[in-house]
Amino acid sequence: MAPLKVLVGVKRVIDFAVKVRVAPGGHVVQEQGVKHSLNPFCEIALEEAVRMRERGEAAEVIAATVGSRQSQDALRTALALGADRAVLVELPGAGPEQGAGPGAGPGQGAGPPLVAAALAKLVEREKPQLVLLGKQAIDDDCNQTGQILAAILDWSQGTFLSRLELDPGSSSVRIQREVDGGLEQLRLQLPTVLTADLRLNQPRYATLPNIMKAKKKPLEVQPLEQLLGGPVPPPRLRVLRLEEPPVRQGAQRVESVPALLERLAALGRI
Mask: binding to another protein, 120-139, rule CB under 8 A, as x and -? ------------------x-
Does position 219 bind another protein by CB under 8 A? no
Alpha carbon distance, N-terminus to C-terminus of the chain: 70
Cα–Cα distance measured from residue 265 to residue 258, given in angstroms and rounded to the nearest whole number: 10
Cα–Cα distance measured from residue 249 to residue 242, given in angstroms and rounded to the nearest whole number: 21
Q: How far is the CB of 199 from another protein (least distance, A)?
A: 9
Cα–Cα distance measured from residue 65 to residue 58, given in angstroms and rounded to the nearest whole number: 20
Query: Which residues, numbered 136-155, are part of the site for another protein (CB under 8 A)?
Result: 138
**8, 133 contact by CB (below 8 A):** yes
From candidates 34, 179, 183, 198, binder to another protein by CB under 8 A: 198
Does position 40 bind another protein by CB under 8 A? yes
Pick the stretch among 196-204, 221-229, 238-246, 258-266 that binds another protein (CB under 8 A): 196-204
User: Which SS3 state, helix, strand or coil, does residue 187 take?
Assistant: strand
- Nearest to another protein of 29, 190 (CB atom): 29
Cα–Cα distance measured from residue 132 to residue 16, given in angstroms and rounded to the nearest whole number: 21
From candidates 17, 247, 251, 267, binder to another protein by CB under 8 A: 17
From candidates 32, 205, 246, 270, binder to another protein by CB under 8 A: 205
